[in-house]
Amino acid sequence: MLSPRKTALAIALGAATALLFTACGGNMDDSANNSAGSPPVTAADPSHGGAVSLRGIVYGAADTSVQPDAGVPITMMGQMRALFDLIKSAPDFTQVVMDLGDGSPVHVLDTNTGDKFLPGKLALGLSYILIDMKTKGDPKYADYLATYQKITTAMMTQMNGSDYMYANTSWGEYYYLVALNNFSAHGMLHEVFSDAMLTTLQNRLTFCDMFGADASGKTNTCPAAGVPIDVASLNTAQNYYAVSYGIAGLRQKLGWSNPTFSSATDPAVASMGARDALLYTLTNHIRNDSSGGFSDEASNTHTTYYDQARFDRYSTLLIGEVTERTLEMGNEANLTPELKSYLRKSVDLILPQLNADGQGFNYGRSIGPYGDTAFMEVLTAAANAGILSAQEMQVAYSFIYKSAYRFDTFWYDPTLPTPSVNMWVKGRGTDTYRGKPRVMGENFSLLHQYMYVNAWWDKLGFGGKAPMADSDLQAWLDAKPHYTLTWYNVPGDTAHPYSAALITVRDGKRVINLNLSQAPDYNSYTPYYPTPSSDKLVYGTTDLGYALLIPQVSYNGKTYIPVTYYKNLNVQETNGNVVVSFDTAKFRQATKNASYATDLDLQVHTVLTFSKGAMTRTDTLTSGTLAGNMTVETDFTSFADFQNTVANGDGFSVNYANSSATNYSTTGFDSCALSNFEMSGGVVNPLSTTPIGQLHSNFACKTQAFSLTGSTNRTLSWTLKYADLN
């Protein structure tokens, strides 16, 4: 017997056939509109009609197949069509399974995937295929349209009272509205959706679930008509002002009304429409929460200066999303010089990190393929906002091409039982937030990012154009400074007295990042440690912590780490070496959301030296009050295979083969041990799965118990040597 929820869904599936829709079709350009930027500056791609181009990877040939010499297994449109076919072939779409080959297939369209954006992601992703089929007069269009109507109706129709079978909050609402606007631009909106369904969507696709007391997203929490929403009542992270801004603007573009806002502290909000009130509030967030012009992603729930300052991928990406939403909804008039200046700050943080492999952020949370697309989205927004030089336009387009190529040849895995983007298996791991039950939605959202970016570059005149020659791109990258210091909080800012900054060091083709931010809620996790991050050399493990290249202290039965309270940051270049020094005023307990009352009165002066093919860290520990004994451990985990990793006879160094790392050595410790890091108790060690792949070995160095009294100190150091990147 079906459960009540399954019974309700079956009723909705039957009812969906009654919602067949009629209207005229169209063939309008679905590229983003009203863009600004430089004229095309790349040469036409001479190879097989544009195969070696961004469009060649995203769209491909006229039938969306892979063109000769494109070098990818499938186009992104091909991936989207394969997902549509997977859903269409299932007798019951809620039972669609994706198998990543790890022995636990996932029912990816079940109601309990945990992906509260799924209906919107699906509606948007599959819309690309419908629009393409309609434009080409594909004879199978009607069949695919019927499938689309059946699924979207079932997912979005009210089932039991005010309850819905599927949640569709925030991002899901935004994605759905993008799909509706794309259909509208092609004259297909009333062909795909009945008037009754559009009324349902108009009532449901609001930003109300992000404001007020109800954060479930399963009921419409908008107040009665004429009652404004308190703009300060956002019940999620402040970056979601950008999502609600996108929703309000896209509703307005469809001619739908929006709820209004009020503010107890700023009466100006009440005189604005919802779209502009949200942009106004979002601008204040960026302006007020970081003197460096970046978005502090902890500022909404943390109120003291030592309890804020999480700067990561989203701190840089947010202004890119705001710019893209502004252009997408036709609100260019409100893209102020102030907002453009924030966008330029993000560009200036990204440009020193660019590389010829299409890799993006390598620190912080929610990276992996999203680390790559963050660079791509910011650079695309900057191109459209007209703040890139002609040469930067070429570089940005070429990097984005490389990013698309990397997605298709690294992140997308056609060898899985169900071909898919892979963030979960074969040694890879991602945040709990993007857990494997969300695999279908992650495919949709990532593919959408590349598709909309490709549409923008087509609009800018780059459609089918070849990227810069690899030699020219590398020459531009080689001309970048040896190091770049980007402050999140400007020195001297009394509201943010602790140092928050990113140091990027370039060593040949290798990019090394040292990110210093307080990161409340996340500072116990390795991606937020004050340690270098670099592709295939040093990488954090999501949602987990261990002594990765920092002095991890054990004291009175608890573990402490130096992951906030940074002061006196100084960066200098001497004789070709980049020397970074800073002090850490206290050690934090190494547990998530540890109370600041448990901080340990232990200080460390840290010096990191980056030289050709090597990096060295020296930590000098002192304390004026700790009387008991402590021990310190520092680990280095390597991507090198364990079988060819050799501990040297000195007991304090190790050699690596077949990897970027070649040697790791330490001083000041009493013992070190090499171990297999990949397996623990016969299963994969969760600490070993990074976003980009498996760590295989660990070299753990420890001290014996010692005390710090009076003016005594303890100095520990490590040196990591590595090979040049090819």
Task: Give the other-Cβ count within 10 Å of 162's Cβ.
Answer: 9
The predicted structure's pLDDT at residue 596:
86
Angle at 121 between CA 110 and CA 100, to 5 degrees: 55
Question: What CATH number is given to the structural domain containing 526?
Answer: 2.70.98.70
Two tokens, residue 409: 């040849």
Per run of 10 residues, the mean pLDDT along the chain (length 726 residues) is: 47 43 33 36 69 96 95 97 97 94 94 91 98 97 97 84 82 98 98 95 93 56 82 88 97 95 90 94 86 76 65 93 96 94 97 97 94 98 97 98 98 98 96 93 98 97 95 95 93 80 96 92 93 96 96 97 95 96 96 89 97 98 93 97 94 95 98 93 91 97 94 95 89
Q: In terms of C-beta density within 10 A (0-12 exposed, 13-18 middle, 19 or more buried), how is residue 91 classed?
A: exposed
Q: What is the pTM of this model?
A: 0.92
pLDDT at 44 (0 to 100): 67
586 inside domain: yes
Does some domain include residue 489? yes
Domain residue limits at 591: 481-722
Task: With respect to residue 164, please indicate whether it lies within any of the assigned structural domains.
Answer: no
The predicted structure's pLDDT at residue 213: 56
- Check residue 301 and give its pLDDT: 60
In a domain, 314, yes or no: no
3-state class (DSSP) for residue 431: coil
Q: Backbone dihedral region of 725: left (phi > 0), alpha (psi from -120 to 50 degrees) or beta?
A: beta
Residue 585 lies in a domain: yes
477 touches 288 (CB < 8 A): no
The total number of residues written for the chain in this structure: 726
Any domain includes 708: yes
Write down the pLDDT at residue 613: 97
Whether 221 maps to a domain, the answer reads no
List CB contacts of 311: < 8 A, sequence separation 6 or more.
Answer: 290, 294, 296, 297, 488, 500, 502, 515, 517, 519
- What does the angle CA 447 – CA 285 – CA 241 come to, to the nearest 5 degrees? 45
pLDDT of residue 303: 58
Position 160 scores a pLDDT of 65
SS3 readout for 345-370: HHHHHHHHHCCCCCCCCCCCCCCCHH
Residue 114's CB: how many other CB atoms inside 10 A? 15
Distance, in Å, from the CA atom of 460 to the CA atom of 466, rounded to the nearest integer, reads 14
Residue 617, domain member (yes or no) = yes
Q: What is the dihedral of CA 114, 234, 171, 205, to 10 degrees?
A: 100
* pLDDT value for 709: 85
In the chain the first and final C-alpha atoms are separated, in Å, by 60
Number of domains comprising the chain: 1
603-611 vs 588-589, strand pairing mode? unpaired
State the DSSP H helix or E strand holding residue 229, giving kind and residue range, or none if neither. Answer: strand 229-230
Query: Residue 711: helix, strand or coil by DSSP?
Result: coil
